[in-house]
């Protein structure tokens, strides 16, 4: 039986199937009203882990979630990410892990999310231009100050995860990973060995014919959708995986969350495990 809950950092208990808010439109108008409704419906359906980031609209996504959900119900974790900023004459988004930038982004996130502490803060990317010890040391200082609860990473290698764990206690890793894209299997293995939450972004992705056709066949046999099969496979693949599928539609949200009840047989899992990654 696949467990439906996980303790991030050992004690922050969440439902394993979460929600990624990246795709929610934030501009004023009907689309924004739908975004608010989707976020609220996710919580109504029992989602306790919602993922956002400063990068998503320069904080607009964080403000949207606060408008939709504040005051937050007990047990709801909204995790955000810092470390990407607009810089230079053209104001392009670039990696920026300088301590002053990270500290400012955390202070802004606290204000936008209307909280005194971010229970899980993730470094969106490691900035190669700034010493890792400076980046993680800043987050550790914010943790000591009570503004950050737990620290996570995003898009790291197993070696980078190992280096980071020598500096801070890493509670989560958010890497690209799905049924048809398992490049970060070594990172997942490291997370599983250490009990670190692994939040796959882009948890559902379809390649060309072949592999996705096999997924569709399994879905038809189970009277499910290919998306549900992909999410159910993730939930059963490792106990530390916490998928965060995103959508801007309530019907897709409900479809995604229903995947938690889908039971893949061992024969189905064997077929899916052997799928080749698309070229």
Enclosing H/E stretch for 149: strand 148-154
Q: Which one, of 275, 207, 209, 206, lies nearest residue 237 by Cα?
A: 275
CB-based contact 142:178 (threshold 8 Å): no
Q: Which one, of 29, 33, 14, lies nearest residue 248 by Cα?
A: 33
C-beta neighbour count of 157 within 10 angstroms: 14
How far is residue 50's CA from residue 122's CA, in Å, rounded to a whole number?
Answer: 13
Phi, psi for residue 256 in degrees, rounded to 5 = -60, -50
C-beta neighbour count of 221 within 10 angstroms: 13
First to last CA, the chain: 33
Q: What's the per-residue H, E or C state across 224-268? A: CCHHHHHHHHHHHHCCCECCCCECCCHHHHHHHHHHHHCCCCHHH
Would you please indicate which residues are annotated as catalytic (active-site) residues? 56
228 exposure class (CB count in 10 Å sphere: 0-12, 13-18, 19+):
buried
Radius of gyration of the chain (CA): 18
C-beta neighbour count of 112 within 10 angstroms: 20
């Amino acid at each position: 039986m696949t467990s439906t809950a996980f303790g991030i950092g050992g004690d922050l208990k969440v439902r394993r199937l979460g929600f990624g808010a990246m795709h929610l439109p934030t501009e004023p108008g009907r689309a924004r009203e739908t975004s608010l409704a989707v976020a609220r419906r996710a919580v109504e359906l029992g989602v306790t882990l919602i993922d956002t980031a400063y990068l998503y609209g320069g904080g607009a996504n964080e403000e949207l979630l606060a408008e939709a959900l504040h005051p937050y119900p007990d047990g709801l974790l909204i995790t955000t990410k810092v470390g990407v900023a607009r810089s230079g004459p053209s104001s392009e988004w670039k990696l920026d892990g300088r301590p002053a930038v990270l500290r400012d982004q955390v202070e802004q996130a606290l204000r936008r999310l209307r909280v005194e502490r971010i229970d899980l803060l993730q470094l969106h990317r490691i900035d190669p231009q700034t010493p890792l010890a400076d980046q993680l040391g800043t987050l550790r200082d914010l943790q000591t100050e009570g503004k950050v609860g737990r620290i996570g990473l995003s898009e790291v290698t197993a070696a980078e995860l190992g280096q980071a764990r020598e500096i801070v206690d890493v509670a989560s890793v958010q890497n690209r990973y799905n049924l048809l894209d398992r490049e970060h299997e070594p990172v997942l293995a490291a997370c599983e060995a250490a009990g670190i939450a692994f939040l796959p972004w882009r948890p559902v992705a379809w390649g060309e014919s072949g592999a996705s056709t096999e997924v569709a066949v399994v879905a038809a046999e189970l009277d499910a959708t290919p998306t549900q099969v992909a999410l159910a496979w993730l939930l059963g693949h490792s106990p530390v995986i916490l998928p965060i599928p995103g959508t801007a539609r309530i019907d897709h949200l409900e479809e995604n969350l229903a995947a938690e009840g889908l039971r893949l047989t061992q024969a189905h899992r064997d077929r899916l495990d052997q799928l080749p990654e698309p070229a």
